[in-house]
Structure formats: structure tokens, C-alpha cells
Amino acid sequence: MKIIGPCAGIGSRLRPFTLSKPKTFIQVAGKPVLEHILDKFRDTFDSTTELILIVGYKKRQIKEFVKQKYGNTFKLTFIEQEPRGYNDDVPFFWGLGEAVYLAHNNFKEIQYKNNEEDKREGALIFLADMIPIDEYSYIMYRYYESNVDGIITVMEVPKKQASSYGIVKTDKNMIIQQLIEKPETYISNLAIAGIYAFSHSTTIALFNNIKNYLDKRTENSKEVYLTESLQDLVNNGFKIAAVNLKKGILDFGRPSALLHGNKFLLEQDFTRKEDYPEKQIIIDKSFIKNPVFIGKNSKIINSVIGPYVSIGSGSYIENSILENCVIEQEVSIKNLISESSLIGSNAQIENISKDNLIIGDKTIF
């Protein structure tokens, strides 16, 4: 099975936090989001697995990081998604549909002898700003053990929020009948949760469906969604099951969701007092309310930190009170009282009392 990961997006909903890095590089609980995702893959897939990353915005950062960290873990392939255009030097793209289609040359049009082989040679597609709480091994088990051509993970969302998601409607056996991107009228509370697994033959059919939409593009066309091509699969008789992630998924595409994901990850693992000497962390006249992550070579003086604060390595914090915040690397903070804030790497912050800050890398504030 090949893994396809679209990573080209700019993370516009997290600006200016993503001005100098791709959204999948945001650090939560001590690691970039992409590292959390690929570490989960490493626990499920072997080193012969081809990992195809579709890159665009800040592509060099992604390629260098993944090669260094996972060069011996997966067979790596990088494919560039060319920008559709630019807004004030910021690229924008043709969307998720095109990103997935760009992997089509890595799949040969072969008919396999049986369904088991067809499934084994298929594709798993993930979104680079979403992490399932369920293990990938559970998702793959559902894929291989079900008599279907593919699966799409879903999660239950409040009825009022359904119009903000790609939504699926299923029959009583959880076989998908309808997929709609951000429906104006309510049809279901099952939102697409960003992980897809398809047999090889289904993957080839999906590529062909997407190509039909790409070939019809004009300069005035909207971005090409994946949902329409998935609906075409259903219409053409492919049996696609919805797999409900009972534990949910961590979404890092919006500030509130990012903070929620950080909170969950910190509850699973955080920096303990006994870790301080090895990580050369200095805590002086300060109170740490766990769970909190503190990176190596950080110093905290006369402050109250936590709960649910992630602090990157090499940071300096003095005379501050912080709760439910994501603070990246090499940050200098003095006299800050804040809750539910995002602060980028190498930022310098002084003399502020304000919640819900979003401050980009290298900002002096």
C-alpha cells in the first residue's frame, strides 16, 4: 500500500502563525504535527511502504525535515503542487482534488488476481493537519476485514456545525450513499475525518474521476474538491464504507482546534520534574501546573505556567502567567499574562495582558 499525504496548503486560518512555515510544521506537545502523524504511520507500516508527499508552500522545509527524520523509515517520494496563483506573494492552489491526483503516476494500471491483492496494493490518503486518536492499525483492520472497495473515516459533529464539513450519508450498514461538501441543508452529522483507504482499482477510478474535473477547469473555476470525485465512485457502484472514529480526531487547521489538539496530546505525555536535569531545563521561583511540555534548554523564572502549555526548546519566560498556549522554539517572553494563545518561533513578547493572541515567527511585540 502507498500512502499519499497532501501537504501543500498555506494554513490561511492560522495566519500569521504560518507565515514562515507550513501548517503541518506547527509544534504541539514538543513535535510538529507532521511528526506526530508520521510516527503513528511508523508503528503500523514497514520500511517498504512508499510515502508520497504532495508539497507546495514552504516545500523545502518539509522535504529536508522528512528526509532527515524518516529517510530510513519509508520509501520517500515528493511531488510539487504548482500554485494556481498568488495573493500578495502568498500562493494558492487548485485544492485537495488536484493534490491527490498528482500521485497518479505512481500507480500503474494493473488488474490484480483477487480482492486481497487489489486491497494490499491500494492507497491510504491522509490530511496533514489531522491526527486520528484511534491507531492507524485499527483503521487498516477495518479496511482489510470489510467486504468493501474502500473506507472513509468519519466523526460525529453537532448538527449546527455540519454545514462546515464534508458530510456523508450512509445506509444502515454504514455504506456511503451520498457525500456533500459543506451542505447548505442538514443531511447527516457524520463529517469526513480526513483518512481514506482504497483498493488499487478504486484508486485508479478515483484518479480518473478527478481528472474529469481538472480537464474542465477555467480561470474562473473554484478549487477542485475531492468530495465530488468520491461521490462519482459511489455513483459508479464502488462500495465505500464509513468508519466512525469513536475516539474522534485531532484537527490542527484552526486556532481553537489546534489548542484542543495540544491539550489532548499533553494529557497523554508531558514533561516531568525528573526530566529537567537531562533536558537542561531551569525552573526558578515558578509554579508548573501539569500537563505542560517544556523543550530542552528552556528557562522559566518567577512565572506560573499551565495547565496545557507547550513550550519549544531554547525559550525564556519571565514574570508571566500562561495557560492553554502553544509557544514554539527560541521564544523570549517577559511580563505576559495570556490564555489560549499561539506564539511562533523566535518571537519576543513583553508587557502584555491579553488572551487569544496569534503571533507569528520572529515577531517583536
Domain tally, the chain: 2
Whether residue 365 lies inside any domain: the answer is no
Q: Are 154 and 300 members of one domain?
A: no
Note whether 284 and 228 are same-domain residues.
no
Domain hosting 24: range is: 2-259
**What is the DSSP-derived secondary structure letter of residue 138?**
H
Any domain includes 266? no
CA distance 65 to 67: 6
Distance CA 300, CA 316 (A): 6
Task: Report the distance separating Cα 327 and Cα 155, nearest Å.
Answer: 29
Burial of 354 (0-12, 13-18, 19+ CB in 10 A): exposed
d(CA 128, CA 221): 25
* Residue that terminates a domain, selected from 226, 259, 292: 259
| 36 and 158 part of one domain | yes
Calculate the dihedral angle through the C-alpha atoms of 15, 16, 17, 18, rounding to the nearest 10 degrees. Answer: 70
What CATH number should be reported for the domain holding residue 166?
Answer: 3.90.550.10
Same domain, 65 and 113: yes
Backbone φ and ψ of 73, nearest 5°: -100, -40
Same domain, 250 and 278: no
239 and 319, same domain (yes or no): no
264 found inside a domain: no
Give the CATH number of the domain where residue 319 resides. Answer: 2.160.10.10
- Contact between 143 and 119 (Cβ < 8 Å): yes
d(CA 365, CA 362): 10
Residue 265 lies in a domain: no
Per-residue cell: 316? 525564556
141 and 68 in a common domain? yes
Residue at 241 is within a domain: yes
* Residue 364 in domain: no
Return the half-sphere exposure (C-beta side, CA atoms, 13 A cut-off) of residue 120. Answer: 7
Q: Of the candidates 232, 259, 286, which is a domain's last residue?
A: 259
CA angle 127, 234, 152 (to 5 degrees): 30
pLDDT at position 20: 82
The Cα 197–Cα 188 span in angstroms is 22
Whether residue 67 is found in the same domain as residue 28: yes
Average pLDDT across each block of 10 residues of the chain; the chain has 365 residues. List them in order: 92 80 87 91 89 94 95 95 85 91 95 91 93 84 94 92 90 95 91 94 98 92 91 97 88 87 93 96 97 97 97 97 96 98 95 95 92
